[in-house]
């Protein structure tokens, strides 16, 4: 029986190595420039703080979301929105992992272009946040995991107050110096899976020094969710952002 592979487009589109096609695009592109944001920052009064987690497919966004739920779920009134291309796989994973009450997890299906849903047409994500705020009055924090995309996908400030960009060592130690707004402008860059750096020949000194060079004063955290499954450094960074008294 023929099987339909209707997911092919999504895979191509979300491939973090999509620039390896062997020719140079003749554009003037400053790898440190932020893209224009179509929305103004959301008014802050009387709502949960919102943190976006973006980055290429497989870098560890869902694993980091689960880690933050474990680290912070006991001390904060917390909820999660996941963005998947065609499925609700990430939400299902988090519900099964038992890191948070399943009612605190909402899934958004983004179609082929996950970056659109976190940047250009953020309605579905804002609706999911509203739904969670209505269900859990007094929410402190909503974590929004982006669908996996390439190095250019960043969240609109109309959707999140702060964003984390997650890359992993398996993409190669070249990734930070390749730039892109995720690497250069995210409020926190996480270089994940350092436990396998030696297996893939990634030089951590190169990766971190390139990352700091590209990001100026913005912070960089290197971590392994195998060695430190509760992501303590990222959890501390999140705590530092929240209004005094929330934690
Ligand atoms: N070795 C190792 N594997 C990890 C780490 N973090 C995540 N993974 C694995 O990497 C794979 C992709 O992670 P996932 O969180 O689903 O990535 P996402 O697509 O960015 O959400 C999963 O099999 C994770 O268990 C890590 O720090 N070290
Ligand atoms: Mg995921």
Interval 108-135 mean pLDDT: 91
Residue 5: per-residue pLDDT: 39
* Helix 89-97 with 61-72: angle, nearest 10 deg: 40
In b/e form, how buried is each residue of 114-127, taking b as 16+ CB within 10 angstroms? bbbbbbeebebbbe
14 touches ligand 1 (CB under 6 Å): no
Average model confidence (pLDDT) across the chain: 86
Domains, in order of start, for the chain: 45-234 (3.40.50.300)
Q: Which of the ligands is closest to the CA of residue 222?
A: 1
Interval 67-77 mean pLDDT: 97
Provide the pLDDT confidence category of residue 12 given band limits of 50, 70 and 90: very low
- Answer with the residue of higher pLDDT: 28 or 16: 28
Residue 152: per-residue pLDDT: 78
- 165 Cα to the center of ligand 1, angstroms: 14
Provide the pLDDT confidence category of residue 191 given band limits of 50, 70 and 90: very high
Residue 23: per-residue pLDDT: 53
Residue 7: per-residue pLDDT: 37
Residue 246: per-residue pLDDT: 64
Closest by CA position to 60, among listed 219, 246, 189, 185: 189
Asked if residue 8 has pLDDT above 80, the reply is no
Interval 29-46 mean pLDDT: 72
Q: Which of the ligands is closest to the CA of residue 84?
A: 2
DSSP 2-27: ----TTHHHHHHT-TTTT-SS-----
Closest by CA position to 63, among listed 161, 159, 199, 164: 164
Provide the pLDDT confidence category of residue 113 given band limits of 50, 70 and 90: confident
* Residue to mutate (ligand 1; options 16, 58, 143, 197; most atoms within 8 A of CB): 58
Residue 14: per-residue pLDDT: 36
Asked if residue 207 has pLDDT above 90, the reply is yes
Asked if residue 3 has pLDDT above 60, the reply is no
Q: Which of 9-23, 34-48, 145-159, 223-237 has the highest mean pLDDT?
A: 223-237
Mean pLDDT lowest for which of 65-69, 106-110, 157-161, 192-196?
106-110
- 102 Cα to the center of ligand 2, angstroms: 16
Residue 100: per-residue pLDDT: 96
Report the binding-site residues.
55-62
Residue 145 near residue 85 (C-beta atoms within 8 A): no
pLDDT per position as a tens digit, 148-171:
877 778 999 999 999 999 999 998
Residue 111: per-residue pLDDT: 81
Interval 166-185 mean pLDDT: 93
**CA neighbours within 13 Å on the CB side: how many for 160?**
26
- 167 Cα to the center of ligand 1, angstroms: 10
For the record, the structure tokens of 183 come out as 């690497």
| Widest CA span in the chain | 60
């Amino acid at each position: 029986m023929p099987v339909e592979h209707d997911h092919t487009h999504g895979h191509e589109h979300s491939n973090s190595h999509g620039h390896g096609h062997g020719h140079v695009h003749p554009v003037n592109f400053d790898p440190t420039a932020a893209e224009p944001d179509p929305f103004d920052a959301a008014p802050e009064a009387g709502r949960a703080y919102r943190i976006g987690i973006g980055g290429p497919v497989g870098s560890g966004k869902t694993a980091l979301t689960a880690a933050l739920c474990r680290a912070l779920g006991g001390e904060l009134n917390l909820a999660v929105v996941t963005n998947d291309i065609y499925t609700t796989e990430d939400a299902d994973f988090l519900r099964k992992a038992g890191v948070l009450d399943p009612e605190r997890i909402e899934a958004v299906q983004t179609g082929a272009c996950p970056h659109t849903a976190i940047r250009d047409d953020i309605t579905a994500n804002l609706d999911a946040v509203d739904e969670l705020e209505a269900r859990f009055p007094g929410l402190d924090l909503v974590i929004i995991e982006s669908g996996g995309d390439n190095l250019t996908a960043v969240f609109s400030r109309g959707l999140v107050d702060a964003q984390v960009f997650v890359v992993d060592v398996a993409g190669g130690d070249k990734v930070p110096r390749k730039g892109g707004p995720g690497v250069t402008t995210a409020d926190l860059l996480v270089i994940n899976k350092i436990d396998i750096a030696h297996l893939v020949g990634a030089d951590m000194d190169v990766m971190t020094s390139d990352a700091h060079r590209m990001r100026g004063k913005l912070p960089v955290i290197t971590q392994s969710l195998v060695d430190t499954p509760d992501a303590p450094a990222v959890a501390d960074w999140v705590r530092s952002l929240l209004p005094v008294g929330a934690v």
